[in-house]
Structure 1
Amino acid sequence: EFATGSSMKMAIRNAFGRATSAIVDSNLTSIITGVILYAVGSEQVKGFAVTLVLGVGFCMYTAIYCSRTVMDVIEKNRWVSRFTMLRLMTRTSIDFIGAGKIAVLVSCLLILVGAAGVVARGKGIFGIDFGGGVGIEAVFKTSQSIDTVRSTLNSLELDDLGVSNLSLLPESAEKESRETGIKVAPNTHFMITTSTPHQDEIDAETYLRIVTGKIKEAFKDSLVYNKLDYTFLEKAADSNEGTTNADAASTTVVNPQALDVSLVICPSMTEAALRSAIDGRWQRLVDEQKLSGDFRYTLKSVKEGVLASNGASILWTFSTTTASREQVETVLGLMKSEMDASPYFPSSSTVGGSVAADTRNSAILAVLGSLVCIVIYMWFRFQHIVYGIAATVTLVHNILIVLGFVALSAYVTNYLGFLQVNEFKIDLTMIAALLTLIGYSLNDTIILFDRIRENRGKSPLLTGKMINAAINQTLSRTVLTSMTTLFTCAVLYFWGGDGIHSFAFALMTGVVVGTYGSIYIASTLLLWLIEMRQRAVVRSK
């Protein structure tokens, strides 16, 4: 608006007047996606949908009303005489439509290569959310090559095996180092996923035990193991208040009437988990008729940060007045032998086949429903269905290429590991990323289509020259917003942690593909569809 010679006041009024429709259109389509996602998604996806709808709604409100109010106040008080915007490029006259056919051929080639990657990976491209199976986080004492880990696991003949290197955030690494007594080094945490064999009637929990046993057998002493040490606290004969045990490395008050034991557990456990472990062993011994009687006890949490000789935090003092030392020794001895022989798996998850099928169907319905609603809305908004078809085909194009990158990640992870490229899979996180990408890509496309509509005005024909002008006029804005979004996604990708690593990967590649798709594919498809309609009208006359 300033470039046309408008004053400050007129520039604000005209800019908001022209941009409001595009802002509403782009945000409403994202809200539609969120509503559909909430209607058909699982519980985890519904949480994301609520966040998406609320976030987009508040962003639309602030963009239309709050920003306008702030600028009106600035203009009225004359705090600023002129707004300027960084222009990455001056007025351009690039023939994007002329390169449209080449762009379409390149896109078809990328889609075909990606489709080949999807076919080659088969069911292995699905995460356990969609395929059913187990996921286990394994921790090694020393740094391991992902190739070594994968080749060792391949010998176990696990179905649809997936291995990814987990990058822990500094605070998570520090917490784990404190709890395990082992300094967390790079390339020591790996997520191992495998689908449940469909030919065998086996539930996910049983398969989890089978897989953890195979991992233990394959890597043996290379893994970090659980550890339990216990010390009976001796009584002082001349004290009614109790004494302290220096060997426990912490001040522990001893009850003269109770049998007290200091427990050193590595890594630390919650009280519920510790009680479950103790009660389970006691009940097993009772069932085997090795023990009998009443077994009541109390657990007292000792201040964290006090370290024993092996570096693990002393977390609990066990105290009982109903069991003998021999009985306690039997229970804790069994617990120690089993824990010391069990590898440390910080996290594990299981998904049954029926749950995975329901999740997969919900995700498909969410994506298809979003695309159908977008076609209808764009048809209504631009008064012609060709705009909706062009926008939706472009979205499908973007999704297919991103999915192709996800499929190909398994084949390049050995070469691009330094870029943190893992063996990405299609799971709930990836679906959330794709639906977010739909909203982002459509934003750029709507801005472009809105400018095309302005340039066309009341002209009965839409020409390639008009579309080229619209692309060049919005090019600086498109590139600038894409670069800022790409920068944010890159930060999430490299430093956001494993929980959103695949999400950030899909968004980062999707931002690049979406910008390319809006500029080349959407505009070219729109022109082709309009020309086909115009030729049909001429023939009918």
Structure 2
Amino acid sequence: MQNKGLIRLFAILFGIVSIYQLSFTFIINKIEGEAEDFAINKISSDEDNYVAKREVEEASYLDSIGNQTVYNIGVASFTYNEAKEKELNKGLDLKGGINVILQISVKDILKGLANNSKDPVFNKALDEASEAAKNSQDTYLDLFFEKFSEVSAGSTKLASPDIFANKALSNDINFQMTDEEARPVIRRKVDESITSAFEVLRKRIDKFGVTQPNIQRLGTSGRILVELPGAKDIDRVKSLLQSTAQLEFWETFKADQILPYLVSADEILKGIVDAETVASEPVQEETEIDSLLSDISTDSLDVAQSNPLLSLMVQPGFQGSPVIATFALKDTAEVNGYLKMPQVVQARPAELKTAKLVWGKPAKDSELVELYALKSNREGIPPLSGSVITDASQSYDLGNRPSVSMQMDGKGARIWEELTGKAFREQGNIAIVLDDIVYSAPGVSSGPISGGNSEISGNFTLNEAIDLANVLRAGKLPASADIISSEVVGPSLGHEAINSGMMSFLIAMIIVLVWMIFYYGKAGIFSDIALSFNILLIFGVLAGLGAVLTLPGIAGIVLTIGMAVDANVIIYERIKEEVLKGKGKKQAIDDGFKNALSSILDANITTGLTALILLVFGTGPIQGFATTLLIGIITSLFTAIFVTRLLIEWYVEKKGRSLDFYTGATKNLFKNVNIDFLSKRKVAYIISGIALVISLGSLFSLGLNQGVDFVGGRSYQIRFEHPVNPSEIDAELDAVFGSTEVKTFGGPNQVKVTTKYKVDEEATEVDQEIQQKLYESLLKYLPEGTTYEQFLGGSEDAKIGILQSIKVGPTIADDIKKNAVWAILGSLAIVFMYILLRFTKWQFSLGAVAAVFHDVIIVLGIFSLTYKFMPFNMEIDQAFIAAILTVIGYSLNDTVIIFDRIREVINEKGWSAGNNVNFALNSTLGRTLNTSMTTLVVLITIFIFGGESLRGFMFAMIIGIGVGTYSSLFIATPVMYDTLKKSVTSGKKKEE
């Protein structure tokens, strides 16, 4: 081997850099462990909201040392913040946290661009596009253009003055433009708004305090991926991401101006609401008005308890108060329904026609909420909006409660002075409204406020005030952001995943290391050294690139171990062949490495191509799997081809010792094997044909157990203290949600609950409603005294409750399914082309792809046949697609190595009626079985010790590896042989 010195230097430097990169991870883990202990010691678990309080204390501790030097290495020193940026990132499944995909509402953007046009054609097109989007893969904007053309039928243009040819877009769109000319401009404006939303979200997340967040746009559809590993307060995160930060300042009506109308509305409702809920005795209207306006206690409302609206009122607002009345939080939806009824709206007096009734922000843990009335106008435009805010910061009000201070620009300061001056003169109030919720409605007692300074107060927690200040600084979203897909992993589950993942990794590693020594003796020791070095390099590269390590990523690393072993096995088997030819050890080693190189490269390139497909089409953990697999392919090639050779040549040349590539137990294994594989191909065709028919029959009749990834819905992994009966829980939850699926997931005290309840509704309130209903329904199965917060599983010491939740909207579920199909087809197409280019004969490509189709159908068939009774999760989700693509890669790996040997033998010895094909198959049999058995042992180890979330994933790969090994020998090669034989026979006849 040439340039040994350079390779040795590169290997040493590569190793040193990897150790250097990983050293930051060890330092950070130590420091964060100390911060966690500090928070636990300071905040007892007996305190209310202890999880959030511990999170604040932990963050405070880390903030306090952020700029302190915590690591010295040589002449370099690093602060905590600098070291944190260099640590190995852990994904959600290892650290806990939240992963969401947000859909920026293109409908809202279009409304904004059209200046909230009331044009009936425009609005009908928006509504029809929204409906079509539920069952279409097209973007909302494309659907809008299509529906607009259908609805308008040429009568209305996009560039109409009432739609997009408005004053705001006058520089870009004029009324003379055709629809074809206006569409690109609208498309560009929509994209600019989505980019703006992306930047707003990025600024918010940067200020949130979560380390190593990930935010990225997904294509051009308006979707944004946000990953926040380590985030524990999930409701806070969701609020931060979805808040549009639509800040507005409004003048308010007073209670005595609105309450008479509510009494009138109540009278109207008596004639509308069902007779069973209407009181038989009428209430004297005059008495009601007098009592409401005199600010007497709620006892005076006893006479109105049977009235539809007034009976829901807990307390009326006192005279002169901006609070109209107080209601129970649970009754707000019913009150809204009453107040929006056409008959009730029409009964408004003239001065209240444009009034805007909105709710206040309830105090934490309060069951009551206040109703306000804002002085609006026909256009619904506030006197002052949040666009004038130039800065915001968390502060404290006069009562030492958390609040938010704001500074306005010059224009805003002038309007604010006018607004506060008017409120002072008229003894009025100004409501500070954020996203249609009144946070406070203070009066002005000391004259107009100049300078543009203002403050928002109103039942804030410290975190809420901090988040609101950050949101206001970042700016408002140009449109609403709906969470269409989310995955929440509790920290306790992440902690368990690390333990199970590392345990499976170490056990698999030990088994492989011992096996290599058992099979190859001293040569196996050199492989083990190279293999260990390979693992160091993988983790070092992951840390250096800032990549994210996930549980499937650990599985990818373990699979890489199998591939590294495969490369060493190919090399050692070739060296043994060269020795049998009578060559000296040095020459045999040289030729063995040289002859093995082609097979190793072909095998790794085909696997690398499937990993690239995963990287392109996958998301989250699947990308983590693909990333580690790609890195592992590169490092294993380097260590197997160069590092192993350096060690072997050092031992043989420098030490002058003999090196055998076998032990006493394995010396004669596969030595004189002579199996006539081709003669058995017809039997194999029949067996495979039967298996394919059964598999396809099951797929068409029984189908597959599709997870929420593919059908949409919500799923929750819930753990109890004692074993539970899933059928019993299923029956109880069916009564609450209409339809649920409850299965044992892992141990008998753990279940997975899946429901499609309100699957089309993306609001955070729906998530909270479902969680609350789950808590109330399952409370009797939980230990006595379990709180709702404990049930949500917010800390690592939370051993019961919700460990993981996943939500996937139906639209994105369709997209995931489509991407999965494209991933599989794309992988097959790319590999077909590679093999065609590499082997120059289409028969080789046909054989390889036929084997792959065979493997995929049988794996799917086995899942279809067995998912109903297997004791572990066998859902078809993104992880399963990763397993299928890995099986494709492995099967092709195996097939390519066999084909490579067949091509080599045929080039040397000719066709010979298939005898040389059999010879090639027998010569690679040792490698095929050795590698397959090693890989299977590794996968079975992960299957047993790697945790429940990986079990179905591993099962698919175990079946795939077994079937793939069989198909390489009995499907791929026979199909290639039968089609190529015709070509060879036809060629000979032409020559004759």
Compute the TM-score of the two structures, normalised by the length of structure 1.
0.68
The equivalent position to 1:221 in structure 2, one of 776, 780, 783, is 780
State the partner residue of 1:8: 585
Separation in 1, partners of 2:889, 2:987: 33
State the partner residue of 1:77: 654
Separation in 1, partners of 2:842, 2:620: 34
AA partner of residue 608 (structure 2): I
The equivalent position to 1:165 in structure 2, one of 730, 741, 745, is 745
Aligned residue runs from structure 1 range 246-285, under 5 A: 269=794
Separation in 2, partners of 1:425, 1:60: 34
Native 8 Å contact 1:117 1:408 kept in 2 = yes
Separation in 2, partners of 1:211, 1:119: 34
Separation in 2, partners of 1:160, 1:4: 67
Native 8 Å contact 2:710 2:813 kept in 1 = yes
State the partner residue of 1:365: 822
Native 8 Å contact 2:713 2:754 kept in 1 = yes
State the partner residue of 2:862: 405
Does the alignment pair 1:428 with 2:878?
yes
The equivalent position to 2:715 in structure 1, one of 113, 135, 139, is 135
Give the stretch that moved more between structures: 148-157 or 433-442.
148-157
Aligned residue runs from structure 1 range 223-372, under 5 A: 223=782, 227-228=786-787, 269=794, 344-372=801-829
State the partner residue of 2:161: none
Separation in 1, partners of 2:974, 2:734: 46
Separation in 1, partners of 2:734, 2:658: 67
Separation in 1, partners of 2:855, 2:660: 35
Separation in 1, partners of 2:878, 2:785: 31
Separation in 2, partners of 1:108, 1:455: 30
Native 8 Å contact 2:719 2:750 kept in 1 = yes
Native 8 Å contact 1:134 1:350 kept in 2 = yes
Alpha-carbon shift at residue 15 of structure 1 (Å): 0.6
State the partner residue of 1:505: 955
Separation in 2, partners of 1:91, 1:104: 27
Alpha-carbon shift at residue 493 of structure 1 (Å): 0.4
State the partner residue of 1:481: 931
Separation in 2, partners of 1:490, 1:137: 24
Alpha-carbon shift at residue 8 of structure 1 (Å): 1.0
State the partner residue of 1:442: 892
Alpha-carbon shift at residue 424 of structure 1 (Å): 0.4
Separation in 2, partners of 1:487, 1:435: 20
- Output one character per residue of 1:109-152: Cα deviation in whole Å (capped at 9) or x when no partner: 22222223333344x52211122111111223422456666687
Change in CA separation of 1:153 and 1:196 when aligned onto 2, cut-off 3 Å: closer
Change in CA separation of 1:59 and 1:412 when aligned onto 2, cut-off 3 Å: same
State the partner residue of 1:49: 626
Secondary structure of residue in 2 paired with 1:411: coil
Change in CA separation of 1:265 and 1:388 when aligned onto 2, cut-off 3 Å: closer
Secondary structure of residue in 2 paired with 1:136: strand
Give the stretch that moved more between structures: 376-385 or 64-73.
64-73
The equivalent position to 2:699 in structure 1, one of 97, 108, 118, is 118
State the partner residue of 2:941: 491
Native 8 Å contact 2:734 2:740 kept in 1 = no
Separation in 2, partners of 1:46, 1:125: 23
Alpha-carbon shift at residue 511 of structure 1 (Å): 1.3
Alpha-carbon shift at residue 368 of structure 1 (Å): 1.1
Alpha-carbon shift at residue 228 of structure 1 (Å): 4.2
- Output one character per residue of 1:336-368: Cα deviation in whole Å (capped at 9) or x when no partner: xxxxxxx93222110011111122222221211
Separation in 1, partners of 2:740, 2:984: 51
State the partner residue of 2:636: 59
Secondary structure of residue in 1 paired with 2:828: helix
State the partner residue of 1:469: 919
- Output one character per residue of 1:246-304: Cα deviation in whole Å (capped at 9) or x when no partner: xxxxxxxxxxxxxxxxxx9678746xxxxxxxxxxxxxxxxxxxxxxxxxxxxxxxxx9
Q: Unmatched 5+ residue regions in structure 2?
A: 1-577
Aligned residue runs from structure 1 range 522-533, under 5 A: 522-533=972-983
Separation in 1, partners of 2:772, 2:675: 61
Separation in 1, partners of 2:867, 2:976: 35
Secondary structure of residue in 1 paired with 2:652: helix
Alpha-carbon shift at residue 25 of structure 1 (Å): 0.4
Does the alignment pair 1:68 with 2:642?
no
Change in CA separation of 1:458 and 1:92 when aligned onto 2, cut-off 3 Å: closer
State the partner residue of 2:832: 375
- Output one character per residue of 1:356-397: Cα deviation in whole Å (capped at 9) or x when no partner: 112222222121111111111111111211111111111121
Does the alignment pair 1:35 with 2:612?
yes
Native 8 Å contact 2:604 2:633 kept in 1 = yes
The equivalent position to 2:851 in structure 1, one of 384, 394, 404, is 394
Query: What is the percent sequence identity of the aligned residues?
Result: 29
Change in CA separation of 1:371 and 1:157 when aligned onto 2, cut-off 3 Å: same
State the partner residue of 2:682: 101
State the partner residue of 2:751: 190
Separation in 1, partners of 2:807, 2:838: 45
Alpha-carbon shift at residue 16 of structure 1 (Å): 0.7
Alpha-carbon shift at residue 193 of structure 1 (Å): 2.7
Separation in 2, partners of 1:93, 1:379: 29
Native 8 Å contact 1:162 1:423 kept in 2 = no
Separation in 1, partners of 2:601, 2:643: 15
AA partner of residue 832 (structure 2): V
Separation in 2, partners of 1:211, 1:403: 33
Separation in 1, partners of 2:841, 2:735: 58
Native 8 Å contact 1:429 1:503 kept in 2 = yes
Alpha-carbon shift at residue 524 of structure 1 (Å): 1.0
Native 8 Å contact 2:711 2:813 kept in 1 = yes
Separation in 2, partners of 1:159, 1:538: 67
AA partner of residue 98 (structure 1): S
AA partner of residue 452 (structure 1): I
Change in CA separation of 1:393 and 1:224 when aligned onto 2, cut-off 3 Å: farther
Native 8 Å contact 1:139 1:223 kept in 2 = no
Change in CA separation of 1:45 and 1:102 when aligned onto 2, cut-off 3 Å: same
Change in CA separation of 1:523 and 1:160 when aligned onto 2, cut-off 3 Å: farther
- Output one character per residue of 1:199-252: Cα deviation in whole Å (capped at 9) or x when no partner: x854486776676577667766234577249xxxxxxxxxxxxxxxxxxxxxxx
Secondary structure of residue in 2 paired with 1:83: coil
Native 8 Å contact 1:125 1:425 kept in 2 = yes
Alpha-carbon shift at residue 156 of structure 1 (Å): 8.1
Change in CA separation of 1:404 and 1:147 when aligned onto 2, cut-off 3 Å: farther
Change in CA separation of 1:390 and 1:152 when aligned onto 2, cut-off 3 Å: farther
Alpha-carbon shift at residue 454 of structure 1 (Å): 2.1
Change in CA separation of 1:37 and 1:225 when aligned onto 2, cut-off 3 Å: farther
Alpha-carbon shift at residue 514 of structure 1 (Å): 1.0
- Report the RMSD for the aligned CA atoms in angstroms: 3.3
AA partner of residue 465 (structure 1): N
